[in-house]
Amino acid sequence: MTSGGGLRERKKARTRAAIQQHALRLFRERGYAATTVEQVAEAAEVSPSTVFRYFAGKDDLAVLDDHHSLAAVIPRLVAEQPAELGPLAALRAALRTAFAGLDPHDRAARTARDLALLQVPELWAANAAMVGRALDALGELVARRTGRDPADPAVRALIGAVAGVSVRALLDAANTPGTDPVEAVDRALGLLESGLAL
């Protein structure tokens, strides 16, 4: 009975993720306003009623809190990094490990999620609170690793710098065909880690 329930839940999670993945692709290709729930359903090869079974409406398709999130694994991966690594090096290593652990489909879906978030203004607006929570969570990780308070200006500046160079790298990758966004972010964080001596 438990395995059946587990299988059913996994199938539901896969269906939900597939619907949202098609929605994100259409939002990027056609624009958020021009994309309908019916178009999302057609792309995902499900009925509109199936879309509404998982999402109350189009606005809910834009909320990415659970869509290919790494929030559950990053704290553990940061904590597993050697103590001698500074906070930025530990975070960078954790991100590399997290992405290396994804199968190609999940990695591509996560990348598409990140690019859509930055390229579709309505997605950014719908997820501003999630972005804020992610920055706070990263601040907590850095604070824990350095023994500082999360509100320490140095902690907040580091997280702001990480967010800034990551966003810039993702935007550049989105506009440069053939660029791996994950590698672009890692390179940008490496430059930040080196001190960006220009």
For 63-198, CATH number?
A: 1.10.357.10
Q: Residues 107-142: pLDDT tens digits?
A: 989 888 988 988 899 999 999 999 999 999 999 999
Q: Residues 148-171: pLDDT tens digits?
A: 999 999 999 999 999 999 999 999
Can you tell me the distance from the alpha carbon of 82 to that of 125, in angstroms, rounded to the nearest whole number? 37
For residue 36, give both structure tokens: 């309908």
| Nearest in space to 142 (alpha carbons), one of 197, 88, 67 | 88
For residue 139, give both structure tokens: 């601040």
Domain map (residue ranges) of the chain: 1-61, 63-198
Can you tell me the distance from the alpha carbon of 72 to that of 33, in angstroms, rounded to the nearest whole number? 32
Can you tell me the distance from the alpha carbon of 170 to that of 176, in angstroms, rounded to the nearest whole number? 10
CB 95 within 8 A of CB 74: yes
Can you tell me the distance from the alpha carbon of 193 to that of 183, in angstroms, rounded to the nearest whole number? 15
CATH 1.20.1440.230 for domain 1-61? no
For residue 135, give both structure tokens: 């920055």
Res. 189 pLDDT band, cuts 50 70 90: very high
What residue type is 121 in one-letter code? P
Can you tell me the distance from the alpha carbon of 194 to that of 174, in angstroms, rounded to the nearest whole number? 25
Look at the block and give the residue holding tokens 């290396």: 100
Q: Residues 53-101: pLDDT tens digits?
A: 999 999 999 999 888 888 889 999 999 999 999 999 999 999 999 999 9
